[in-house]
Chains A and B, each alone.
Chain A
Amino acid sequence: MTRDEFENRFFGILKWVSVVFFVVITVFPLIYMIGLSFKPISELLKDPASFLPTWSDITSLDTYREVLRPVEDGGQGFTTFIKNSFIVAVATMIITTGLAILGAYAIARLRFRGSKVVTGMILLVYLFPAVVLAIPLFVLFSKLSLRDSLFGLIIVYLAQTLPVALYMLRSYFQTVPISLEEAGLIDGLSRGGVIRRITLPLSAPAIASVALYVFMIAWNEFLFALLFVVEQRELWTLSLGVNQLNSTEVPLTLLMAGSVIITVPVIILFFVAERFLTEGLAAGGVKG
């Protein structure tokens, strides 16, 4: 066997071993999480190796019921957290995407004095550590009584997501052929008309992927929620709700049910829009 033949065979086998490896390390944790979320804790402690629930465990939905039930009825009150997370994530998504469309168009297409400075500033901010911002914002919001409010949280998420969104959309707008826009201008459209009738329709997939990313960042966020709203239970987002389940008094199957609840919307969104997202991610690079 020559070296070439050997390598062809070796890497041919290695490839399939690798596919199996990557599928196992990503899918197994997911199955384990879902399995435990249905299983009664007593069963699990009896035999930790069998993590798959029985059919009756699944249909009873006991753990999920308890997680979603309001605190007054002895549950964990997740319905409120789901609502808060949705409010915060959707509001952030709409405002950030709107502002990013305008700003990104300006820095990608329009010539104005200072546009280079603005672009540079946004790139710099994109790489800036969140922790360094957390302290002064904590003080500022305490002073303005914006701490312990969902509004304050939305403002922080806006600052966290806007640079990413601007950066991603700017790269996309630059790929829209400039001749199309010029044709629109010559045919008598105003700039606003060009943006609305030419640029936006052509960029719809990119805008959708940016919007979904912003939603995901806001939905998944933990640090600022911990710093800003942890003192008021009715303002908690899902991240804080799940964090609360991590205590010795709460069975860990509930913790897993909470984790499934926070993960499912992200996975659904992702599968709905997988193609856009994959491309968008590769193009812009999302902070994480």
Chain B
Amino acid sequence: MSSDTRLASKKKIPTLAQREARLGWLLVTPAVIIVLVLVVFPVVWNIMLSFQRVLVRDLQTVNFLSLDLSLGNYKRVVGVRDFWETLRTTLAYAFFGTILSIAMGMWAALVVKKAFIGRSAVRGLMLFPYIAPVIAVTFLWRIMLNPQFGIVNEWLDAAGVERIDFLGRRSFELGIFGWTLTLPVALTSVIIFEGWRYFPFAFLFLLARLQAMPAELEEAAMVDGATISQRFRYVTMPQMRGVLSVLFLLRFIWTFNKFDDVYLLTGGSAGTEVITVKIVDWLRGRSDIGSAAALSIILAVVLLVLLAIYFKWFYEEEGDGA
């Protein structure tokens, strides 16, 4: 076919570059349409919805093009008594969940870096928390941590320690030297779950980077008499900075936006309510679409501000280092 068309009249033949461009658009169009219709358009529409009063029950009658816009939804969601607490919880959850998963992933990657018998089996097993369906692992944790019959509490009991309602207790007062420390119990449990579930992701990322490092640098440091911890601190870590910062960024964004984990573990009770759980509560629990939209816009804006701070800080650091 194509060789025949090449013989046709000279003027009408598109150049190779033109044909390539045409094919490029042809191939990419279905994907672009899907992304535009199902992602870009909804996002824009969501902004609109957040300024309108829309309830689930009048979905069929409401005029979505109405320009009767107001800040009512924003006032409503920010005015809720626990709004600021929800925001604080989300930040703590996202930050500490991210740090814990990366720290565990780094530790796992260092352990598995050098070959040993059974390494590939260990590496495969370690991915289980990440690939298993969220619904299965959250319920599994709920049963393991259950205060009546969960295995963790059975062990605590056997060790003579008081049983703890890990996912249902808001806080725990700890007295040290006359100071009282309030530990958030349920939130900490959720963060530990986060570390457990997502460390395999960090692990794979970091392992790939560790294995791509030239061995010469470490060997040279070894010849110079650097110990294991010194080699890690002065040779390995500086090379990991780039991948660690990308990993932090990705995991933070995803944890910040995470809904299922907290919803399924605690339903947002006992001081674990994050913004996404609250959004779904506005949508399904209170059937208030406009307020849910407003809160989701707040979520996106907070995230954007945090990212802006991160990039500013990160690039300045880079500038100093270079």
Q: Which residues of A contact B (CB under 8 A)?
A: 3-4, 7-8, 11, 15, 18-19, 22-23, 25-27, 29-30, 32-33, 36, 44-45, 48-49, 51, 99-100, 102-103, 105-107, 110-115, 118, 121-122, 125, 127-140, 142-143, 155-156, 158-159, 162-163, 166, 188, 190-191, 216, 219-220, 222-223, 226-227, 238-239, 242-243, 246, 252, 255-256, 259-260, 262-263, 266-267, 270-271, 274, 278, 281-283, 285-288
Contacts and interface: CB of A to CB of B under 8 A. Distances in A.
Given A111-B17, A122-B35, A288-B130, A242 B42 contact: no
B131 interface: yes
Contacts of B3: 188
Nearest to A142: B59
11 contacts: A11-B229, A48-B149, A106-B23, A110-B27, A121-B40, A129-B276, A143-B60, A242-B135, A246-B139, A267-B128, A287-B254
6 nearest A-B pairs in the assembled complex, by CB-CB distance: A112-B24, A159-B38, A110-B24, A103-B31, A129-B257, A259-B136
A142 B260 CA distance: 22
A259 B139 contact: yes
A11 B131 CA distance: 30
Contacts of A133: 38-39, 42-43, 46
A128 B43 contact: yes
Contacts of A113: 21
Contacts of A103: 27-28, 30-32
B133 A263 contact: yes
Contacts of B130: 288
Given A4-B227, A36-B143, A191-B20, A129 B299 contact: yes
Contacts of A33: 136, 140
A22 B122 contact: yes
A263 B132 contact: yes
Size band of the B side of the interface?
35 or more
B296 interface: yes
B96 interface: no
Contacts of B285: none
A284 B289 CA distance: 34
Contacts of A51: 151
B1 interface: yes
B292 interface: yes
B212 to A, nearest CB: 10
Nearest to A270: B131
Contact of A19 (B30, B39, B122): B122
Contacts of B141: 29
B227 A45 contact: no
Contact of B227 (A3, A99, A121, A188): A3
Given A7-B227, A48-B154, A133-B43, A29 B140 contact: yes
Contacts of B191: none
B42 A136 contact: yes
B9 interface: no
B196 A25 contact: yes
Nearest to B129: A26
Given A112-B21, A220-B133, A263-B132, 16 more contacts: A22-B108, A22-B111, A25-B196, A29-B129, A32-B140, A51-B151, A99-B30, A106-B26, A106-B27, A115-B28, A125-B40, A158-B38, A223-B260, A256-B143, A278-B124, A287-B254
B59 A162 contact: no
A120 B221 CA distance: 41
Given A132-B46, A133-B39, A138 B228 contact: no
A139 B155 CA distance: 48
Nearest to A100: B31
Interface stretch (B74-82, B178-186, B200-208, B313-321): B200-208
A38 to B, nearest CB: 14
B65 interface: no
Contacts of A125: 35, 39-40
